[in-house]
Amino acid sequence: MVKKSMNRDLLLIFTRNPELGKVKSRLAATVGDKIALDIYNFLLDHTRQISMKLDVTRHLYYSEEIQPQDAWDNSFFDKRLQQGDDLGERMRHAFTNGLDEGFEKVIIIGSDIYDLDATDIENAFTALDHSDVVIGPAADGGYYLLGMRVLIPELFENKEWGSATVLKDTLTQLKGRRTKLLTVKNDVDTFEDIKDVHAFNHFFTHINEANHL
């Protein structure tokens, strides 16, 4: 059995439990619940694979319930449950736990960024050597990655989570702090986000066939 890394770098991975009709609702509006779930599982697999390439400790936070026997290997992932009434509270709780447990750098990612790779996350940890905060801006106005060495509680407050103002509001709160911005990436929320991405083409065979009838 491979033991979990004891590295002082901690990666927090937030995921939704993959259940039919409960993930990627905006995507499902176009492709249906079944394909939306298939795509989400595909994104989970991508996130799992890139995170396993990193020499970090990994805390996997489920949205609804911990799945001890799923595809996330217990040897690599410390499985936990998100706690809080909104995304901000849940992220703050996870960051607080990580920092209280003695980790020096803590970074959180979601599980729906196909463009994200292991090197991006490594670069984010490296950026914290000389920055207070590192942020990966998302094309929709949010962010796909957030990292810090000391908890900044206000970053998790007074936000309309899921809106196009999250990044702007976060950067306003970070004025005066050393902040590193990474490359803008596109998270997967709608059909438009992935319709031209080759890796997703096989999910849309039925749609393409319908368009050619």
pLDDT tens for 75-107 read 999 999 999 999 999 999 999 999 999 999 999
Q: Where are the domains of the chain?
A: 9-211
* Beta carbons of 4 and 57 less than 8 angstroms apart: yes
In this model, does residue 208 exceed pLDDT 60?
A: no
φ and ψ at 112, to 5 degrees? -135, 30
CB-based contact 57:7 (threshold 8 Å): yes
Is pLDDT at 200 greater than 70 in this prediction? yes
Per-residue pLDDT tens for 29-65? 989 999 999 999 999 999 999 999 999 999 999 999 9
Report the predicted TM-score, pTM, of the whole model to 2 decimal places. Answer: 0.91
Q: How far apart are CA 209 and CA 213, in angstroms?
A: 7
| pLDDT range class, residue 212, cuts 50, 70, 90 | very low
CATH of 9-211, one of 3.30.365.10, 2.40.50.140, 3.90.550.10, 3.40.50.970: 3.90.550.10
The residues with which 37 forms a beta bridge, in sequence order, are: none
Q: Which of 96-100, 123-127, 160-164 has the lowest mean pLDDT?
A: 160-164
* DSSP per-residue string spanning 138-190: BTTSSEEEEEESS--GGGGSS--TTSTTHHHHHHHHTTTS-EEE---B----S
